[in-house]
Amino acid sequence: MHEVAHSPHTHGPHIEGHFESTEVVRDIVIGLSDGLTVPFALAAGLSGAVASSHIVVLAGLAEIAAGSIAMGLGGYLAARGDAEHYVSERHREEREIIERTRDEEEEIYEIFEQYSVSRASAEPVLAALKQNPTAWVDFMMRFELGLEEPAANRAHRSALTIAISYIAGGLIPLLPYMLVADNLTALKLSVVITLLALAIFGALKGKLVGTGWLRSALQTVLIGGAAAAVAYTLANLLNTHSR
Amino acid sequence: MHEVAHSPHTHGPHIEGHFESTEVVRDIVIGLSDGLTVPFALAAGLSGAVASSHIVVLAGLAEIAAGSIAMGLGGYLAARGDAEHYVSERHREEREIIERTRDEEEEIYEIFEQYSVSRASAEPVLAALKQNPTAWVDFMMRFELGLEEPAANRAHRSALTIAISYIAGGLIPLLPYMLVADNLTALKLSVVITLLALAIFGALKGKLVGTGWLRSALQTVLIGGAAAAVAYTLANLLNTHSR
């Protein structure tokens, strides 16, 4: 959820390589961000309100199952939808440059007009595109619709990578509750190792994305810490009032 | 999480209006998808393993708190990061068209070459862009880097919309557990109203996005149902083995 703004499927191309991380790395980041945050916060919240660490582990594992399926299966279906959307829009453009040639020509002039390029200056480009219908369709897909061809088999791999990363991230905060019987001790251990994991993960992410490692580390720690603090306070309040 | 592939921040423009829903609608969809799915699955999973509906409600509310913060705050920081990334890349392009003019000219030729447009045909476009440095930078931002200017104040509004939608969606599956003391009865009620809510939500989403209402409804029901079934089975297994 954390990474909604960095979708791998709709990102533009980076010909200059301003941001060189691969799609797999981005999927791992998406899964780990949430996996480290939500199960951690849920476990912290429950640990203050229920007596048994058994229930904390149970709830944590149920959340990891639910979250990884929602992210993985949801991401898979969304990616497949994107791929189908691309194909259907492409067929539409292929038809339109034949059936509505004049309109499509006009659209090219309009694209260039946004950048103060006159019809006369754009005309040679249009002439060149008309020589090569495939290139013309490619051009319209990218410059008119802002769509790029999704990589084949992307959906499967992406869904699996995100789900596994979510599970791996989610197991870190739960480990102490599995190993230590006392909830309060487990909570303290969980807070320490998870905030540490969030900091390391945030720093690595910041290095990769180029936003600076310190700032990125502080942000991931802030999100995880805030979520855990609110969940903890809420669960404690509810528990006190309803018992 | 479900909607990672439909990020509002990185989506290309749709000049033809193939997909006309506003950004607010997309944020609501992002929040509701996960809000209806994960707390539902968590509550279903726990309901079979713990005796008291009190704990189910507690865990569900803690999850909603954690999830809405992770999505809201995470989305806010990601959107702010995107905005800063846009500004810094724009400054970079502004410098480059002055300091490395020849390289930037060459990049324009390379962009057009991908579409089989010769240097001679692209030359008038380059000449026009050189007349207007702002348009030239705009052109490079969009066609070389695939970046679009994020709307001002987008981050705040987006984060709040996503978080509120997540909370609203998450409260639906928890309602039966708040009102009915018996866990099994509450589970049945929760399954019925949540699958119904998922179907209605999926159908509306399908209408908006244009993927077809029936298919979209089946997909959201499938994701929610699968997540809940796996969480339920897992929690039951763990409970039987560790007691």
Residue range A212-232, pLDDT digits in tens:
899 999 999 999 999 999 999
What is the enclosing helix (H) or strand (E) of B79? helix B53-99
Question: What gap in Å lies between CA A2 and CA B230, rounded to an integer?
Answer: 23
Q: Kindly state whether residue B27 falls inside one of the protein's structural domains.
A: yes
Q: Kindly state whether residue B13 falls inside one of the protein's structural domains.
A: no
Determine, for residues A12 and B146 on separate chains, whether the beta-carbon distance falls below 8 Å. yes
pLDDT band at A49 (very low <50, low <70, confident <90, very high): confident
Domain count, chain B: 1
Determine, for residues A74 and B238 on separate chains, whether the beta-carbon distance falls below 8 Å. no
> CA B224, B227, B232 angle in degrees (round to 5)?
120
Q: Kindly state whether residue B59 falls inside one of the protein's structural domains.
A: yes
Q: Kindly state whether residue A2 falls inside one of the protein's structural domains.
A: no
Dihedral angle computed from the Cα positions of residues B160, B163, B168 and B169, in that order, rounded to the nearest 10 degrees: 140
pLDDT for position B210? 75
Q: Kindly state whether residue B18 falls inside one of the protein's structural domains.
A: no
Cβ-Cβ contacts under 8 Å, B235 against chain A: 58, 61-62
Amino acid residing at B111 = I
Determine, for residues A15 and B111 on separate chains, whether the beta-carbon distance falls below 8 Å. yes
Q: Kindly state whether residue B68 falls inside one of the protein's structural domains.
A: yes
Which domain, by its residues, includes A120? 23-235
Contact present, A28 and A19 (Cβ < 8 Å): no
Q: Is the pTM of this model over 0.90?
A: no
C-alpha distance from A107 to closest chain B C-alpha (Å): 9
Question: What gap in Å lies between CA A145 and CA A1, rounded to an integer?
Answer: 26
In the predicted model, is pLDDT for residue B217 greater than 90? yes
Q: Kindly state whether residue B186 falls inside one of the protein's structural domains.
A: yes
Work out the mean pLDDT of chain B and round it to a whole number. 86
Question: What gap in Å lies between CA B140 and CA B134, rounded to an integer?
Answer: 10
Give the best residue of A4, A87, A174, A201 to mutate against chain B (max B CB count within 10 A).
Answer: A4
Per-residue pLDDT of A3-32, as tens digits, reads: 343 333 333 333 344 443 577 888 898 899
Amino acid residing at B179 = L
Q: Kindly state whether residue B5 falls inside one of the protein's structural domains.
A: no
Work out the mean pLDDT of chain A and round it to a whole number. 86
Cβ-Cβ contacts under 8 Å, B85 against chain A: 211
Nearest to B158 by CA among B10, B14, B31, B34: B31
